[in-house]
Structure 1
Amino acid sequence: MFSKIGRYLYALPFGIFGLFHFMKAGQMAGMVPIPGGQFWVYLTGVAMLAACVSIIIEKKARLACILLGVLLLIYVLSIHLPAVIGGQMQPSMTNLLKDLALAGGAWFIAGSYESEIEFEA
């Protein structure tokens, strides 16, 4: 029971984060370190919404969690770490640590689905 509640509590904020990416894409685009800022904001919003749904309905949840962890680690390395190095300790360090912990959580949840692995010949 607790693992199901935990998965829901983990997944739901990503649904909200995904919606925020659509509602505030213009504001977030300036944080994207590569060209095409708004496109990447929308794409990552879709990824977060898809991960949320996948975790909740438990379909392809292992893959969703692995990819979500990768996405969060990309945020850490490409957005938050450069900001911390550039002297913006707050809120960048907080966001760096939050996303690092969430990436670890995503991979932990992915590990709980190891029985999902099916090899096709």
Structure 2
Amino acid sequence: MILFGIYHFMRPDNLIVFVPDFLPGKKLLVYIVGLAFILTGFAFIAHKFVQAAGYVLAALLVIFVLSIHVPNYIGAADADMKTMAFVNILKDTALAAFAMYIGSEARNLD
């Protein structure tokens, strides 16, 4: 997650295209998501706020599925784009489920 977060800061313009058009402040949102990924990764490594980090990460990934990947799947112009959107739906759903598992199994180490 930390590497994904760093990428958000290194190449924000590559990720702006994935932010839905109805949301303002696209570059700021890319930075916020990057920061969330970095903080989540450090929380998991440091065993601090693991439950909160797991649930926040899961919520963020579910938002990605519903606001980015599902609309991309529905509006895909060709089979390759539809396949890529479907793979992203499965990937982020699986990551969200794993993040919820981490959050639910976290002991109060804070």
**TM-score > 0.5, shorter chain as reference:** yes
How far residue 90 of structure 1 moved from its aligned partner, in angstroms, is 2.9
Stretches (4+) displaced over 3 A: none
Structure 2 residue runs of 5 or longer lacking an equivalent are none
Query: TM-score when scaled to structure 1?
Result: 0.81
- Structure possessing the higher relative contact order (Cα contacts under 8 Å, 6 or more residues apart): 2
Shift of 1:104: 0.1
| Pair 1:24 & 2:48 matched | no
Q: Distance in 1 between matches of 2:2 and 2:37?
A: 6
In the TM superposition, residue 96 of structure 1 has moved relative to its aligned partner by 1.1
Q: Give yes or no for contact 2:12–2:31 (8 Å, CA) kept in 1.
A: yes
Instruction: Return the alpha-carbon distance in structure 2 between the equivalents of residues 77 and 91 of structure 1.
Output: 15
| CA offset digits 1:63-106 (Å, max 9, x no partner) | 00000000000000000000001123131111111000000000
Amino acid at match of 1:92: A
Check the 8 A contact 2:48/2:109 in 1, yes or no. no
Task: Quote the residue 2:82 is aligned against.
Answer: 89
**RMSD of aligned residue pairs (Cα, Å):** 1.5
Instruction: Name the CA distance, whole Å, in 2 between partners of 1:46 and 1:117.
Output: 22
Q: TM-score, normalised by structure 2?
A: 0.89
Q: Distance in 1 between matches of 2:105 and 2:91?
A: 21
1:22 partner amino acid? F
Structure 1 residue 35 displacement after superposition: 1.6
Give ranges in structure 1 of 5+ residues lacking alignment.
1-13
Q: Does 1:112 align with 2:101?
A: no
